[in-house]
Amino acid sequence: MNAITGISPEKGAVPIHFDTDEEILAACFETIGDTPSTEARVVHIRNTMDVQRISVSRRYAEDITANGKVKMVTEWQEMQIDPAGNIIDPFQQV
């Protein structure tokens, strides 16, 4: 908790663990200073060995438009959290 409060989770000697994705996201948003969570640049990568399809927040819209090698395959969607507090896999929905 001290590493998150100090806005430097990477300095924690013991890996940080949370029970749900929702708790993880809340902790991450605590470490980005004055940036509102709605303005955060978030990337969800299902598998780092296969980055052909990723999910990103709207803060990347200009980057996607400017990059001729990247294309959107769906319209913007809000991240879905299940009742247990975990992210509903956006890659199964495509």
Q: How far apart are CA 61 and CA 46, in angstroms?
A: 20
User: Is it the case that residue 72 has pLDDT exceeding 80?
Assistant: yes
Confidence of residue 7 (pLDDT cuts 50, 70, 90): low
Look at phi and psi of residue 66 and say left if phi exceeds 0, alpha if psi is from -120 to 50, else beta.
alpha
Q: How far apart are CA 91 and CA 94, in angstroms?
A: 6
pLDDT, tens only, 9-47: 666 666 778 999 999 999 889 888 888 988 999 999 988
Other C-beta atoms closer than 10 Å to the C-beta of 1 total 10
Give the per-residue pLDDT at 13. 66
Confidence of residue 4 (pLDDT cuts 50, 70, 90): confident
